[in-house]
Amino acid sequence: MTQTRVDPRTAFSDIGKMRKIAVASVIGTTVEWYDLFLFATASALVFNKIFFPSFDPLVGTMLAFGTFAAAYAARIVGAALFGHFGDRMGRKSMLLTSLLTMGAATFAIGLLPDYATIGIAAPILLLTLRIIQGLALGGEWGGAVLMVVEHAPKEKRGFYGSLVQVGVPGGTLIANLVFLVIAAVMPEQELLAWGWRVPFLASILLVAIGIYIRLTLEETPSFQAVKDAGAKAKIPLAELLRKYWKEVILGALATVSTGTAFNILVAFGLTYGKTELKYSTNTMLWAVLVACAVGLVMLPVFGRLSDRFGRKPIIVGGIVAEIVLAFPMFWLMDTKSIAGLMCAYVLMMTAFCANYGPIATFLAELFGSRVRYSGLSVAYMLAGLLGSAITPVVTTALLKATGQGSSVAWFLIGSAVVSLVGLLLLSETLRSNLHSVHEAPVRATSTPGPEEVPVGS
């Protein structure tokens, strides 16, 4: 019996190529999320004062956050737009375009004149650039996921897909750390005059690095197979909605609680900890930084576990953990001890990572090669609109109505239950064949067999 021998040089080359692809995707998504969360931090600290100064401070803050929220609607449009061209022209070109677009918009924000200089044009330009950021992010995440997942060995797709997810806590950590440092070394007057611009202008360096690395990447095998077979979808979004509308809806619902949990940690938790529990700003920022550092480690761990045990068991475990920890998180915060606060944040971040780590690969495996960019992007960005976008509004309203932070736990539990139902109505995707061009879709209620299951068309 003849055994097939693997050339060590080829194996080493493949490993090196995957590392390069993974690094390029992680850097790109980290830059994108850094830009996104940088805007959120600036909205809370300075934008209400320099772009909306004629309003009451609270109203100015709400308007600044309203500008922040505008990106969520733009992300859906970006997902459809970049998804269309990503399925028609390839993953690589869209990744370069989205990163360049996001970088240009963020850099331009750093150059914007304030309200005192150009009046009402200032907030209008700010809103316009924010929408451009949203459009770019709508295309970036899906392309980055596909670049690693479609290149990765079948037995490591979950692990490599989870590396893209590192961009969320990574970008959040860097954005908070940058503002923490600037606020610590700079008087408020200088911060408002010019200091806030530095993080926005500096992002261009990260963008340049990301673009340089991505220019050397190869197109993914899945798209190349579709291209070589002359099987591109004429209108990917139309084909997606015709053949995969259940997967889009259920995939979005399955992902909703990730946005809810993360925004409760990094947005509502900050406000609640500062205003109601009287933790210092630095203490709350450090809680977020510690939790994000834990996320950087735990996301790949759960991605790896999903390669061994399946996507759904790990994600279900994360969702159930969010439900179980919802009330204890607030009980620990309410102790008003730093140890309790840190414990609350680390526990919920770990539950979030189990949920969020494998979800990128899971969503990618739901759709066929012809429409995968569109399907993955639209489902994820729809989840953001249903979860992340409404979480600050709902949680603030609940706190105002009840005066109890624990009331927000019910919202988190409700969101997690929605995700659990959506996930359970979808099939396990572990054995999906990502590179088949003409294959029958896995239906939302189908059950995978012991052999590799073909997904989508």
- pLDDT for 15 equals 74
Higher pLDDT, 176 or 331: 331
Quickly state the pLDDT bin for 440 (edges 50, 70, 90). very low
Output the average pLDDT for the chain.
84
Instruction: Determine the Cα–Cα distance for residues 311 and 284; give it in Å rounded to an integer.
Output: 33
Q: What is the pLDDT of residues 168-207, one digit of tens each?
A: 899 888 888 887 788 778 887 887 788 888 888 988 887 8
Q: What is the DSSP string of 17-75?
A: HHHHHHHHHHHHHHHHHHHHHHHHHHIIIIIHHHTSTTS-HHHHHHHHHHHHHHHHHHH
Q: What is the pLDDT of residues 49-73, one digit of tens each?
A: 777 666 555 454 555 555 656 677 8
How many CA atoms does the CB half-sphere of 209 hold within 13 Å? Answer: 15
Quickly state the pLDDT bin for 414 (edges 50, 70, 90). very high
Burial (CB count <10 Å: 0-12, 13-18, 19+), residue 447: exposed
- pLDDT for 190 equals 82
* pLDDT of 428 over the 90 cut: yes
pTM score: 0.85
Q: Would strands 432-433 and 453-454 be described as parallel, antiparallel, or unpaired?
A: parallel
CA 445, distance to chain mean position in Å, is 27
195-201 contacts: CB < 8 A, separation 24 or more?
Answer: 196/42, 196/45, 196/46, 196/50, 197/110, 197/111, 198/110, 199/38, 199/42, 199/110, 199/175, 200/38, 200/42, 200/106, 200/107, 200/109, 200/110, 201/107, 201/110, 201/111
Higher pLDDT, 313 or 190: 313
Helical residues (DSSP H) of 279-357, grouped into ranges: 281-309, 311-333, 338-356
Quickly state the pLDDT bin for 447 (edges 50, 70, 90). very low
Percent of the chain clearing pLDDT 70 (strictly above) = 87
Quickly state the pLDDT bin for 44 (edges 50, 70, 90). low
- pLDDT for 130 equals 84
Selection from 181, 359, 370 nearest residue 256 by Cα = 359
* pLDDT of 435 over the 80 cut: no
Quickly state the pLDDT bin for 457 (edges 50, 70, 90). very low
Instruction: With H, G, I as helix, E, B as strand and everything else as coil, classify residue 218.
Output: coil
